[in-house]
């Protein structure tokens, strides 16, 4: 299957994002639909992964940033039916390494997928937090 990645906010399927985050995501089911909408709307950057032939959103990530040197990566997911195709890696690469925050210090909180994030330079100070140091030192 072929996938497209995009940081276009207007392309996001907010219903698909809400469906995943409210039923599948272990990290934020406490959020209301309105809160998720606010988080997506207020994101510094978003990345969606789409099935090229249909445009269906099957992966997502958002980031919060000061736009200068720091960013927080959040809500990274790939729909279960599309896992194993490298989409998680592509989403994180698009968000961090190929985007305007490539030189930022990045942080995230995760209970799983540490190997994925380590491939992108994140380091785990403990079992719940990982930090990606700035490339500037």
Domain map (residue ranges) of the chain:
3-132
Can you give the pLDDT at residue 127? Answer: 77
Helix (H, G, I), strand (E, B) or coil at 86: coil
pTM higher than the cut 0.75: yes
**Alpha-helical regions (H) of 33-83:** 33-41
Note the pLDDT tens digit of each residue in 84-114: 999 999 999 999 999 999 999 999 888 888 8
Can you give the pLDDT at residue 26? Answer: 87
Q: Compute CA distances 71 → 4, 80, 92, 135, whole Å.
A: 24, 27, 13, 13
Q: Which two tokens stand for residue 127?
A: 């079992």
Q: Which CATH architecture has domain 3-132?
A: 3-Layer(aba) Sandwich (3.40)
Q: Largest Cα–Cα distance of the chain, in whole Å?
A: 42
Can you give the pLDDT at residue 2? Answer: 96
Which residues of the chain are under the pLDDT cut of 50? 136-137
């Amino acid at each position: 299957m072929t996938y497209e990645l995009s940081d276009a906010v207007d392309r996001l399927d907010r219903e698909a994002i809400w469906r995943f985050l409210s039923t599948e995501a272990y990290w934020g089911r406490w959020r209301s639909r309105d809160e998720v909408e606010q988080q997506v709307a207020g994101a510094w950057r978003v990345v969606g992964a789409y099935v090229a032939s249909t445009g269906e959103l099957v992966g997502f990530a958002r980031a919060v940033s000061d736009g200068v040197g720091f960013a927080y990566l959040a809500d990274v997911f790939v729909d279960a039916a599309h896992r194993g195709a490298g989409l998680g890696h592509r989403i994180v690469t698009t968000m961090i390494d190929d985007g305007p925050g490539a030189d930022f210090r990045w942080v995230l909180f995760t209970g799983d997928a540490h190997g994925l994030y380590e491939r992108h330079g994140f380091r785990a100070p403990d079992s719940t937090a990982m930090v990606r140091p700035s490339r500037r030192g």
